[in-house]
Amino acid sequence: MSITYKTPEQADKMRVAGRLAADVLKMIGPRVRAGVSTDELDRICHQYIVEVQGAIPAPLNYKGFPRSICTSVNNVVCHGIPGPKVLKDGDIINIDITVIKDGFHGDTSRMFHVGEPTVLARRLVDVTYAAMKLGIEMVKPGAYLGDIGRAIQRYVESERFSVVREYCGHGIGERFHEDPQVLHYFDPSRGKGEELRPGMAFTIEPMVNAGQRHVRLLPDGWTVVTKDRSLSAQWEHTILVTDTGFEVMTLAEGDTL
Ligand code: MF3
Ligand code: CO
Ligand code: CO
């Protein structure tokens, strides 16, 4: 596999898909409350994507994933499968939305607090958002992929949290997951990595644990949890490298980073 550089026409299609994915997160926000099950959140998102947006929920049947969105609660790091689990006050949840429109993918996720957050949960969610933002702000032609991971890891560890290593951001376009891999930490064995060039599109989606960085895969083959059962948070945007810097492709109308 190799990196695909998007033409202006392809970038336009990714803008549309990205906007739709962001709109789903906007739509579902008010429904993320104590008493709702993650299955209900999945059902509402699925119906909105298919019937209102005329788009395709990319996770459904992707490598056998059984639902249309990922819902990752508390100590779940990523790829949580919606089910009968009911949200309760104090929970944190990541909802990860990927839609396909006109052949192109938009991939974005964010954290929600259910009721009143604990001091730790609020700090973890805020630090993870700031880490994603720092990573995004490294993006410009002539910078390197390694700059992104270095900025994220340095900040997260300065806050005494840890960065998950096993999962990373990814190129995106006509395929859900393309080259390059976008690490959220600095790997000396890879060095500075690929140089960023206009037309590259990839996600930045750091997973940050309140405790140790190590993770475990549950027997369902999807759900990733923290080994030490500590809380975990994640935020994700799809980014385009432009001639002068970056464009966030997964913002809803009027929103800013
Ligand atoms: N949306 C996830 C990502 O950010 C991937 C989910 S794969 C699925 O890359 F199969 F679990 F949906
Ligand atoms: Co992604
Ligand atoms: Co995602």
Give residue-wise pLDDT tens across range 169-226: 999 999 999 999 999 999 999 999 999 999 999 999 999 999 999 999 999 999 999 9
pTM over 0.95: yes
pLDDT at 203: 99
pLDDT at 241: 98
Task: Note the pLDDT tens digit of each residue in 81-116.
Answer: 999 999 999 999 999 999 999 999 999 999 999 999
pLDDT at 32: 98
Whether the predicted pLDDT of 1 surpasses 90: no
| Per-residue confidence band for 121, with pLDDT thresholds at 50, 70 and 90 | very high
Residue keyed to tokens 């799809």 = 238
Contact 99, 21 (CB under 8 A): yes
Q: What is the DSSP code string of the chain?
A: --PPPPPHHHHHHHHHHHHHHHHHHHHHGGG--TT-BHHHHHHHHHHIIIIIS--EETTTTGGG--SSSEEEETTEEE-PPP-SPBP-TT-EEEEEEEEEETTEEEEEEEEEE-SSPPHHHHHHHHHHHHHHHHHHHT-STT-BHHHHHHHHHHHHHHTT-EE--S--EEE-SSSSSEEEEE-SS--TTTTT-SBP-TT-EEEE--EEESS-S-EEE-TTSS-EEETT---EEE-BEEEEE-SSSEEESS--TT---
pLDDT at 43: 99
Distance CA 70, CA 141 (A): 32
Mutate which of 38, 42, 78, 217 for ligand 1? The one with the most ligand atoms within 8 Å of its CB, which is 78
Whether the predicted pLDDT of 156 surpasses 80: yes
Each residue of 197-222: b (16+ CB within 10 Å) or e? eebbbbbbbbbbbbbebebeeeeeeb
Distance CA 55, CA 46 (A): 10
Ligand nearest to the CA of 202: 2
- What residues does ligand 1 touch, defined as CB less than 6 Å away? 59, 62-63, 65, 70, 79, 96, 98, 107, 203, 205, 222, 236
Query: Which residue is closest in CA terms to ligand 1's atom 12?
Result: 59
Distance 206 CA to ligand 2 centre (A): 10
Distance CA 211, CA 50 (A): 38
Task: Note the pLDDT tens digit of each residue in 8-67.
Answer: 999 999 999 999 999 999 999 999 999 999 999 999 999 999 999 999 999 999 999 999
pLDDT at 62: 98
* Ion ligand 3, residues whose Cβ is below 5 A away: 96, 107, 109, 236
pLDDT at 182: 98
Q: Which backbone phi and psi does 234 adopt, to 5 degrees?
A: -155, 140
Mutate which of 98, 220, 222 for ligand 1? The one with the most ligand atoms within 8 Å of its CB, which is 98
Distance 20 CA to ligand 2 centre (A): 15
